[in-house]
Amino acid sequence: MLLITLFLSVVILSSTSDASSFNDFCVADLNGPESPSGYNCKPPNTVTTDNFVSNLRDRPSAFVTEIPGLNGQGISLARAELVPGGMFGMHTHPGASELILVEEGEITVGFMRSEEAYVKTLIVGNVMLIPRGLLHFVLNTGKENCTFTAFYSSENPTFQFVGQQLFGTNVPSYIIAQTTPLDLAEVTKQKARFGGTG
């Protein structure tokens, strides 16, 4: 009986607490800067239904920059089509987990953790989780185009591609050659490919 009384007291207190401290949403003011906690909120009188809608035919992603209403919601998605042999090379999303759903075709998806690799060929209806921040790839290993949707646990997931991070910078080539298994000629070749200097 005491437990039921305590539970009812908590429910009554929480239902009478100041609701103004909770926001249902905070539509992003994309004219202002983005901070680690997201964008500032637009004034409520400027929010419209269009702030919560996007068309994936116009742009294949639904991040906070396309749907400002996603600000602070911790969710977004992107839709992609890959031709046979097409791929998203090794990359990470430091602030987001990813859930991949195959809609058409076949892809091979894999992620790495320490010395372990988790690789699976996915077909229509299969879903695979990529844990937050882990290095991963997507490759169309089928004979036809593949369409999939990736759902992220962030309204604005960042993409860090290994090739761009390593070879698209001004880190001197000799340092990359000394700190990776690549020789200087290969580093120079990759820097030219990714637009790096040094």
Is 98 annotated as contributing to ligand binding? yes
Integer Cα distance of 70 and 26 in angstroms: 8
Backbone angles phi, psi at 100, to 5 degrees: -105, 130
Q: Measured in whole angstroms, how far is the alpha carbon of residue 43 from the centre of its chain?
A: 27
Is 104 annotated as contributing to ligand binding? no
Is 91 annotated as contributing to ligand binding? yes
Residue in the structure block whose two tokens are 């921040």: 133
In our burial notation (b when 16+ CB lie closer than 10 A, e otherwise), range 79-106 reads bbebeeeeebebbbbeebbbebbbeebb
User: Where is the binding site, in residues?
Assistant: 91, 93, 98, 136
User: Where is the binding site for oxalate, in residues?
Assistant: 93, 98
User: Where is the binding site for Mn(2+), in residues?
Assistant: 91, 93, 98, 136
